[in-house]
Amino acid sequence: MGLQETRIESLPFVIAELNYLAPTTAKPRTYAFDAPPGEPKSTSLPEPHQVPIFDARLIAHNFSLDREGFALVRHPTRVKDFYDEEEVRAVYYPAVEAFLRATLKADRVVIFDHTVRKRVEGAPDIRGGGPRQPATRVHVDQTVVSGANRVREHLPDEAEELLKGRVQVINLWRPIRGPLRDSPLAMTDGTTVAPEDLVASDLIYPNRRGETYSVKYNPNHRWFYVPEMTPDEALLLKCYDSATDGRTRFGPHTAFVDPTTPADAAPRESIEVRTLVFHKQ
């Protein structure tokens, strides 16, 4: 059973605008590079909705990856400079791998990439052009197809054997500086998401085609955020789960503009590490 309704309704909250997917008849697609001449960069158009986003701090211990699709964890780090690619791979990757293996009781964890983000007012979000901008549309990083394909892409020789067990794609997201007040992350309670809310959308790279879920508005969605996160805290976000036994398989999330953010708040800086998590079952 999910969180108690009476406890949810008594929590502090903000009203903020979230960008859902506008109705479309064709499969949405977005180019991860400059679009071909005459084509828009994306056909995934935003449909803004004002929604309440509840402060999760008081009930953070109640959240779980298997039920809501996200969890707040304490995870101190020895990394001095998250903009140093070499340090992130040498120091952060092993620490994240060990932490997830222990926390999720996994047989194996494989990190396949990471993204550093720093909000710059008015700047476009460009891949390969330095720190990325916060992602300001409701989405899930993987789909039922692309989640399994990640295993085939990164572990081709072992993929078919690994896919016989349970596979998850879990992101570990944290602020680089804190307390974070600018562009926080909002997460949907996965128990309030209907399968038809998720719309498979192509993400086209120069050398391959990925797939993510865009998300249609549903007034039943229940949103949470963790205000003023510190660099010793992290969020676990479920982006894919091969298990079909009733647990949440996909966790929609998005950055949002918090109307209570002070005007002089430092721009958001964050890092997310994307991982494959394996259970033999």
Closest CA to 252 of 242, 270, 269, 240: 240
Residue 89 CA to residue 82 CA, distance in Å, equals: 10
- 179: preceding bond cis by omega (within 30 degrees): yes
Order of all β-strands in the sheet with 166-175: 70-74, 233-241, 166-175, 269-279, 108-118
Structure tokens at 229: 């996160």
pTM: 0.94
56 within a domain of the structure (yes/no): yes
**Looking at residues 78-106, what average pLDDT do you find?**
98
Separation in Å, CA 260 to CA 14, 183, 187: 8, 11, 18
Is 69 strand, coil or helix?
coil
Does residue 68 lie in a domain region?
yes
pLDDT per residue as tens digits for the range 119-174: 988 777 767 666 899 999 999 999 999 999 999 999 999 999 999 999 999 999 99
- 43 within some domain: no
Q: Do the Cβ atoms of 24 and 42 come closer than 8 Å?
A: no
Give the CATH number for residue 57.
2.60.120
Count of the separate structural domains present in the chain:
1
Closest CA to 214 of 69, 20, 48, 17: 20
**Is residue 24, in this structure, part of any structural domain at all?**
yes
* 165, part of any domain: yes
Residue 41 domain-assigned (yes or no): no
- The neighbour count for residue 259, using CB atoms within 10 Å, is 9
Residue 186, domain extent = 3-36+49-279
Adjacent-strand bridge partners of 73: 234
In a domain, 42, yes or no: no
44 within domain boundaries: no
Q: Map residue 168 onto helix, strand or coil.
A: strand
pLDDT beyond 70 at 225: yes
